Amino acid sequence: MKEIGLQELADLAVGATLLGTGGGGDPFIGRLMAEAAISRYGPVRLADAEELPDEGLVVPAAMMGAPTVMVEKIPNGREIETAVATLEKILDKTAVAVMTIEAGGINSMIPLAVAAQMNLPVIDGDSMGRAFPELQMTSFHVFGLKATPMALVDEKGNSLVIDAIDNPWTERLARTATVAVGGASIIALYPMTGRAAKRSMVRGTLTKAMDIGHLLGRSRRSREEKLNVLREQHGAVELFTGKVVDVERRSGDGFARGTVSCIGLGAYADRVLRIEFQNENLIAMCDGRVVATVPDLICVADRETLMPITTEGLMYGQRIVAFGLPCDPVWLTEKGMETVGPHYFGYEIDYVPLAGARARAAQ
């Protein structure tokens, strides 16, 4: 097994924040949690899915709620272990590994913290290949796995076990509970066997995030060289370059929703980009024309450094570059599009393949 130490953790925090498409929680808080655990307990082992025993218990863990709330509502550090231990007790099995449920700032870090605390490996993969705002928006759901039993814990010590009739009901009940405890909670859910994980997970997410994080954070390559690597190795498509002129953001019903508007610079002068988000960026429109849609990744980064900017980090005056990355193929299936396509989020538009984004943005 490979290991994730403090340097790899720094790379992962940057890369997963980019893949989180604006959501997944504040990367600074998540990194501090994981750094503290690794400093105390040692590096985390990174396991390939094929190393899992078929009948072993695998437990994904994450933060649930509005990322803007988590910035001020800091976890106490024991919620994750409590949530995982709760599922172990209910299922009368000991976990053999933990998993990230999504790529994102805090949600790429939380499983590493509990893995270090419990001396467990973390699996190189997740259930999205990016971040999504709702619990049923996972490859596990697409493959028919149940999210429950699910454990939900807050920083005050409250804990709750949910056993719902289906995954959308798990989302509703857990979202209501999360709002009740202050808008953010720590969860462990989708407990599964190693065999089920191999069949249903998105593989290689952590390695991909660390590679991207190293490229953007530690690499001495020029900005253009970094962009070329993103294009050639990860399929990135530039959507817009400009300045943030307005951010409308609101927190409610357990989500951070809003719209960011930008005016163009350079080749995009006199043009306007609007991105709508629900925790994560969902739709990008240039001069009213849709140029990228969920489930493809819509990423916003600093224009010069290419460091990712989360939805809660967006502010007036920032010079940004927006680009898209192709989603995992699981989301292009009928069930995947039904689960996370534009129609699910209430948009009366069909999915717009990223391959044509550059041509649409140029029109």
134: Cα separation from own chain's centroid: 11
What is this structure's pTM?
A: 0.92
At the fourth CATH level, which superfamily is domain 2-205?
CV3147-like domain (3.40.1610.10)
Beta-carbon count within 10 A of 5 CB = 12
The alpha-carbon radius of gyration of the chain (Å, integer) is 19
Do the domains 234-362 and 2-205 match in fold? no
Backbone angles phi, psi at 66, to 5 degrees: -80, 125
Per-residue pLDDT of the chain (363 residues; tens, 9 = 90+): 699 999 999 999 999 999 999 987 777 878 888 999 999 999 999 999 999 999 999 999 998 987 667 667 777 778 888 999 999 999 999 999 999 999 887 889 889 998 998 999 999 999 999 999 999 999 999 999 999 999 999 999 999 999 999 999 999 999 999 999 998 899 999 999 999 999 999 999 999 999 999 999 989 999 999 999 999 999 999 999 999 999 998 877 767 789 999 999 999 999 999 999 998 999 999 999 999 999 999 999 999 999 999 988 899 999 999 999 999 999 999 999 999 999 999 999 999 998 655 444 455
Please provide the CATH number assigned to the domain covering 234-362.
Answer: 2.40.390
Q: Which of 61, 81, 66 is nearest to 25 (CA)?
A: 66
Domain boundaries, the chain: 2-205, 234-362
